[in-house]
Amino acid sequence: MQDLEDAELPIFNVELVQLEFNISSDFVAAQVANNVLVLALSTGRILRIDLDSPSDIDDIDLPKKPAEVGLIRKLFLDPSASHLIIATTLGENYYLHTQSRQPKPLARLKGVGVESIAWNPSLPTASTREILVGAVDGSVYEDYIEPASEFYRNQEKYLKQVFKAPEGPISGLWVDLIPGRAEVRRILVATPTKLFHAAGRVGRHGNEGSGSIYTRLFETEAPALHEVTRGGRPSPSALVVSPESSESESPRSEDEQRHYAWLCQQGAFHGRLRTATGSGDLGSAIFNSSQMIERKSLPASTGATGRSKPNMEPISALALTHWHMLFLVEGRVVALRRLDEHLVYDQVVLKPGEDAIDLLADQKKNTYWLFTTKDIYEIVVTDEDRDVWQMMLKAQQFSLASQYAKTTAQKDAIAMASGDYLIGKGQYLEAADVYGKSSRPFEQVALTFIDHGEQDALRRYLITKLASYKKSYIMQRTMIASWLVEIFMSKLNSLDDTITTKAQLTEQSSTSDTEKELSAIQREFQDFATKYSSDLDLQTTYEIISSHGREKELLVYATAIDDANYILSYWIQREQWQESLDVLKRQADSAIFYRYSSVLMAHAPSETVDILTRHEELDPVKLIPALLNYNDNATAVPLAQNQAVRYLNYCINTLHTTEAAIHNTLLSIYASDPSPSEKALLGYLSAYSMSRPPPYDADFAFRLCIQHNRVQSAVHIYSNMGEYASAVSLALKYDEIELASLVADRPSESNKALRKRLWLEVARKVINKQGTGSIKTALDFLKRCNLLRIEDLIPFFPDFVVIDDFKDEICAALESYSRSIASLDAEMDASAATAEHIKADMKQLDQRYALVEPGERCRVCELPLLSRQFFVFPSCQHGFHSDCLGKKVVDGSGLTTQRRIRELQASISRGGKREREGRELDALIGGQW
């Protein structure tokens, strides 16, 4: 046995609990569960204390005095502290619910000496449900207790004996569930010399509590048995189970399954309560893996001389923590680590002559208590699993050791030890994962794998190590990542060579296996390149992969870093247009579109334009070379299907671009189309007829039309510019007489001279074209214009034209002239008659007069009219003084008339030409009035 550990803070420490109440009698029994403490006093009283509020104490008395029912012998409290069973020395048994303060007698258990109880694993419940009761005589009963409010009502639904041990008493009982198997129960039954284990299905009835469920288990299953020899002197016996896990209801690993310990005369037999085993007998497997801690293994007490006393007293009590076993021996609390039976605590607690009642564990709260007849001690546990990792490490259980390691140094020590162990076993890949998380020198680990030729393990180690470095370790991460690229490429080349030559294949492998491995490594490299792309230097990585000739891996890396230039080049070189387009769809860099649009327009024009139209941020001018290059190679494509035209129209109609280069490009494509139709070109030109200036270069457009013999469009451009004469001349030059006629009619009606000049040009062309063969046809055509007459056309006919060819037209013209002359004669006659009438009226005006009476007054100043020069108007008989009328005229006339009247008046007053100026002044005044 090893010495006590030297730790600053001991794992265990026994502290005396200061009671907040006074008692006049001794403790005879005690129980603790779920932070509830129950104490039985020798007087028959029961104290129920909630440790969360110790001042709140329930003081409970038995229904009868101790002289009638006996002293309280044992208390049994379920783990939830909901149900309490009280056993007395005279075989009386009582039940007390947590909500009650009045114990109820258990009639069916009357006379049964209860030694142990196995509570239902489904607690807490309102009732106890099915529980097992162990008796002094070795019998095991199944009972079902349901609280009742009436005192005399029987609370037990049934009581049935389900098992009988060869000898008694039943010192311990335990029932639990097997995970994942709801109908299966495991039962442990302990006597001083025998330990039984039974596991099997339990019976079920229609109504809960209507009958026994454990009978079937004991009838169908033969319990596994572990037996010890009976000693010469009796000793305490008990069955204890470790507390519930505080972290989860179900254990995380096999080691965290609950443990049991059976206290017998030889010592403590302990093991793990496994829930699964490869064998058919779970009990035998548990017992075979359990161990016995003999009494003599525990340290002996020392006397006053400091010498050890012989081991006389057996173990008085036993309790289990998660990782330790607590013994009460000769008044001492001794703690052994369960994993290696190492002594961690040995302390004298009881005073000489002081008797202990029990050593108990709170299954729910993981607290531990020692009860004597006078005092209560709490065994405080501090950092109990502090050394578990070391035990697991010694046992080479590295996974469990890592779970319980708390510091970085501990985890690192485990990782290095685990790696060394795996290297020794030849498990290099597993060692690589472990070494990558340790502080073992990088060079040492790398050389270890290199020396053993384990490139796969080296690759895994480097990946693990790379993941462990912080982002700030730029140099380390870059170097490791670059080394990994080299290792990946070498591995891929090796696998390719193996597949190609089949030189390294063994009987156990095949080409198919190698191909699968190659695919796996390729996927691994792809994941690596994607995850650690930021740690790879672009130029270095490209050089490494290129040096190995791995084009696919170059593509993988380029995809990981989104190197669109390389990816597009890769697919374009292989004429994989759909893959190229898929890459282009994901791009946002405009330069990529400008660089690769030419080749993509040449091989996938429609899809390329679909992509281009989704990127409004592009500059269409920079795409013109690609559009023109496509158009040069798409001579057989109709304009309706021309993708360059489609994109340019998108720019014009949707983006509303006003760039002259875009419009000129579209004009160029329209004009150079091999189709003789000018419909598309004319449609475009017509759309911008009203634009001033047009968005295209008119001179450039005109030259294009002439170059490609697009006469109608050229004439349209001239007309749109207002150059009608040039338009007519151009149309006539190409014998487009009908077109010239349309242009000749375009000037406004007010500009008849221009229209006539244009029609004369058309007439000249028509007459010259028709010659002498069809003069009448020419004349019929020219009748469309009402501006031309036969005399305008005669100069255009040849000198030798026979008059008969157009005598009808001449006759019609002469008749028209004759009618015009007659009309003019009538008008002249009417004008002469009108002149004679005017002359007669003027003669009459000279003889016209007006009579002025002597008392006539001026209509302005009201003074006598004859007092000075005056005007009289015969038609209305109104009279005005000359100066009065002049003022009125000046006030109501325009500035020019006013100024002239004032000038004449001033000149007359200065002695000017009175007669002439007077007549003018009279005329102005009289005429204005």
| pLDDT at 4 (0 to 100) | 44
What's the Cα-to-Cα distance from 212 to each of 95, 108, 153, 202, 216, rounded to whole Å?
20, 15, 21, 9, 8
Considering 383, 410, 438, which residue would you say is the last residue of a domain?
Answer: 383
The answer to whether 229 touches 249, Cβ cutoff 8 Å, is no
| pLDDT at 9 (0 to 100) | 76
Beta bridge partners of 61: 45
Give the domain extent around 921: 865-928
Task: Please state the rounded mean pLDDT for residues 197-213.
Answer: 80
Number of domains observed in the structure of the chain: 2
| pLDDT at 1 (0 to 100) | 38
The one-letter amino acid at 30: A
- Transcribe 278-299 into DSSP letters: SSS-HHHHHHHH-EEEEGGGSP
Lowest mean pLDDT among 214-223, 475-484, 737-746: 737-746
d(CA 318, CA 335): 10
Is residue 444 in a domain? no
265 φ, ψ (degrees, to nearest 5): -65, -35
Nearest to 695 by CA among 762, 765, 648: 648
Task: Please state the rounded mean pLDDT for residues 475-479.
Answer: 94
Q: How many residues does the chain have?
A: 929
Read off the DSSP letter of residue 326.
Answer: E
d(CA 137, CA 160): 15
pLDDT above 50 for 252: no
| pLDDT at 862 (0 to 100) | 86
What's the Cα-to-Cα distance from 772 to each of 282, 321, 759, 778, rounded to whole Å?
130, 134, 20, 10
Confidence grade of residue 311 (pLDDT, cut at 50, 70, 90): low
| pLDDT at 508 (0 to 100) | 52
- Output 766 or 344, whichever has higher pLDDT: 344
- Transcribe 719-755 into DSSP letters: HHTT-HHHHHHHHHHTT-HHHHHHHHT-S-TT-HHHH
Task: Please state the rounded mean pLDDT for residues 590-611.
Answer: 91
Sheet of strand 57-61, all strands in order from the earlier edge strand to the far edge:
27-33, 36-41, 45-50, 57-61
pLDDT above 50 for 388: yes
What's the Cα-to-Cα distance from 183 to each of 163, 856, 863, rounded to whole Å?
19, 148, 145
Q: Both tokens of residue 544?
A: 């490494």
Task: Please state the rounded mean pLDDT for residues 83-110.
Answer: 93
| pLDDT at 251 (0 to 100) | 39
Is residue 428 in a domain? no
For residue 13, give every residue at least 6 positions away whose Cβ sits within 8 Å of its Cβ, in sequence order, or none. Answer: 379, 380, 382
Nearest to 852 by CA among 828, 829, 869: 869
| pLDDT at 799 (0 to 100) | 56
The structure's pTM equals 0.59
* CA 287 from centre of chain: 54
pLDDT above 70 for 845: no
Nearest to 188 by CA among 240, 147, 246, 250: 240
| Cis amide leading into 169 (omega within 30) | yes
Considering 350, 383, 416, which residue would you say is the last residue of a domain?
Answer: 383
Q: What is the pLDDT of residues 6-38, one digit of tens each?
A: 445 788 999 988 877 777 788 999 999 999 999
d(CA 241, CA 75): 18
SS3 21: coil
Q: What is the pLDDT of residues 338-350, one digit of tens each?
A: 888 889 999 999 9
Tell how strand 356-362 and strand 36-41 pair up.
unpaired
| pLDDT at 5 (0 to 100) | 45
Considering 325, 358, 383, which residue would you say is the last residue of a domain?
Answer: 383
The answer to whether 48 touches 30, Cβ cutoff 8 Å, is no
d(CA 62, CA 40): 11
For residue 72, give every residue at least 6 positions away whose Cβ sits within 8 Å of its Cβ, in sequence order, or none. Answer: 28, 29, 40, 41, 44, 46, 62, 66, 86, 87, 88, 89
| pLDDT at 167 (0 to 100) | 86
Q: Is 306 left (phi over 0), alpha (psi -120 to 50) or beta?
A: left
Task: Spell out a b/e string for 89-104, using b for 16 or more CB atoms within 10 Å of the CB, else e.
Answer: eebbbbbbbbeeeebb
Place of tokens 């994989």: 576
| pLDDT at 710 (0 to 100) | 85
| Cis amide leading into 192 (omega within 30) | no
Place of tokens 């005005």: 880
SS3 473: coil
The answer to whether 69 touches 62, Cβ cutoff 8 Å, is yes
Q: What percent of the chain has pLDDT over 70?
A: 85
225 φ, ψ (degrees, to nearest 5): -130, 135
Q: What is the pLDDT of residues 671-717, one digit of tens each?
A: 888 888 888 888 888 888 777 788 888 888 888 888 888 888 888 88
- Output 303 or 443, whichever has higher pLDDT: 443
373 φ, ψ (degrees, to nearest 5): -70, -15
Is residue 579 in a domain? no
The one-letter amino acid at 260: Y
pLDDT above 90 for 400: no
d(CA 373, CA 59): 18
Is residue 503 in a domain? no
First-to-last C-alpha distance (Å) of the chain: 152
Confidence grade of residue 904 (pLDDT, cut at 50, 70, 90): confident
Confidence grade of residue 389 (pLDDT, cut at 50, 70, 90): confident
Confidence grade of residue 399 (pLDDT, cut at 50, 70, 90): confident
- Output 726 or 1, whichever has higher pLDDT: 726
Stretch (H or E) spanning 455: helix 455-468
> Rounded mean pLDDT of the chain?
83
- The four Cα atoms 544, 550, 552, 556 give a dihedral, to 10 degrees, of -20
d(CA 881, CA 867): 9
- The four Cα atoms 311, 313, 314, 317 give a dihedral, to 10 degrees, of -120
Is residue 369 in a domain? yes
| pLDDT at 117 (0 to 100) | 97
Place of tokens 């100026």: 917
Stretch (H or E) spanning 200: strand 194-201
| pLDDT at 32 (0 to 100) | 96
| pLDDT at 281 (0 to 100) | 81
Number of neighbouring beta carbons within 10 Å of residue 555: 17
| pLDDT at 370 (0 to 100) | 96
Nearest to 442 by CA among 471, 489, 483: 483
pLDDT above 80 for 769: no
Confidence grade of residue 444 (pLDDT, cut at 50, 70, 90): very high
Is residue 8 in a domain? yes
pLDDT above 60 for 839: yes
Nearest to 407 by CA among 443, 439, 366: 439
| pLDDT at 688 (0 to 100) | 84
| pLDDT at 620 (0 to 100) | 92
For residue 552, give every residue at least 6 positions away whose Cβ sits within 8 Å of its Cβ, in sequence order, or none. Answer: 522
Maximum C-alpha span of the chain: 186
| pLDDT at 624 (0 to 100) | 92
Is residue 414 in a domain? no
| pLDDT at 302 (0 to 100) | 65
The answer to whether 379 touches 368, Cβ cutoff 8 Å, is yes
Is residue 36 in a domain? no
